[in-house]
Structure 1
Amino acid sequence: MPKVPPPVFAAVGLVAQHLLAPRRRPTVARVVAAGAIAAGSVYVAGSAIRAFGREHTTVNPLEPERATAVVAEGPFRYTRNPMYVGMAGILTAHAVLRGGLLPLAPVAAFVAVIDRIQITAEGHAMSASFGDAYDAYRSATPRWLGLPR
């Protein structure tokens, strides 16, 4: 299991965006767009945390073997990883706010690292813990975003 909490990767992405961004004031349109993306992202991640709380299961991504339930309600109907979708959304909002194309590179890097390292390890742990129940959920729900099947 990875030992770096996913929010650390997101924080590194924010720092990288700051370093890559052009040095100019954001337009009103960028501020509004970034605010809307950020608000939606915080809502998705917060809804996921609340759904975990209702099921009394862990939100700790470094110990998925401690999970006590397969959560398939709320944002988990549309993505198996709403907290990571929320973090990617925050990075996207920051990239929009900063402007230019280079600040989008850390968004892609975050998604790639989380997808290949964190989500893969979590999926193995969940499959080992919940077997067919998790496998059925995984086959019906997209890893990142989409409509339920």
Structure 2
Amino acid sequence: MGALALGYAAPLPWPGKNDLMAHLVGRGLGVLGIALLFWAGWTLHRHRTTFLPDKAATHLVTDGPYRFRRNPIYIADILILFGLAEITQNIWFVILAAPFALLVTWLAILPEERHLEDQFGDAYRDYKARTRRWI
């Protein structure tokens, strides 16, 4: 929402090329983000645990996209922002992706990690040791 508002209030020129390859790459990132979001959500659903970050997890999920990164949903969010940037030609989506990543790490991921460590103990610590966070 902030990127849309900034696009109107303080528009910046689109730095990319307006060609087919740029459109395919930018939109491809967005589609990849949507696919990753659905894969991560489906994986959580299969394990009957919550998708919502403010709810307690009932299972430690380490398969699906979670075998590669501990926070695939947030990776998906960033990819979707990049896709939105290309679709709208609004560079603010890209610029605001970095503060979004920092805020998500601080406000969501770190508290989630504390919760998962309390909830699952050594199993989570082992998973955490072998699987990168999200970047």
TM-score over 0.5 for the alignment?
yes
2:96 aligned counterpart, secondary structure: helix
Q: Aligned equivalents of 2:102 and 2:60: distance in 1?
A: 24
Deviation, 1:33, is 1.4
| CA displacement, residues 90-147 of structure 1 (integer Å, 9 cap, x when unaligned) | 11222344558654220101111101221000000111101011111111100014xx
Q: Residues 98 and 21 (structure 1 numbering): CA distance in 2 closer, same or farther, change over 3 Å?
A: farther
* Structure 2 unaligned residues grouped into runs of 5+: none
RMSD value, Cα: 2.5
* Residue 125 of structure 1: aligned partner: 115
* Structure 1 unaligned residues grouped into runs of 5+: 1-11
| CA displacement, residues 22-61 of structure 1 (integer Å, 9 cap, x when unaligned) | 3799543332112210111111111010000110001111
Residue 85 (structure 2) pairs with residue 95 (structure 1): yes
Residue 7 (structure 2) pairs with residue 18 (structure 1): yes
Paired residues, number: 132
Q: Aligned equivalents of 1:73 and 1:85: distance in 2?
A: 16
TM-score after normalising by structure 2: 0.84
* Residue 28 of structure 1: aligned partner: 20
Q: Residues 52 and 125 (structure 1 numbering): CA distance in 2 closer, same or farther, change over 3 Å?
A: same
Q: Is the 8 A contact 1:21 1:98 kept in 2?
A: no
Q: Residues 33 and 13 (structure 1 numbering): CA distance in 2 closer, same or farther, change over 3 Å?
A: farther
Q: Residues 37 and 98 (structure 1 numbering): CA distance in 2 closer, same or farther, change over 3 Å?
A: same
Residue 124 (structure 2) pairs with residue 134 (structure 1): yes
Q: Residues 41 and 123 (structure 1 numbering): CA distance in 2 closer, same or farther, change over 3 Å?
A: same
Q: Residues 16 and 104 (structure 1 numbering): CA distance in 2 closer, same or farther, change over 3 Å?
A: farther
Letter in 1 for 2:130: A
Report percent identity of matched pairs. 26
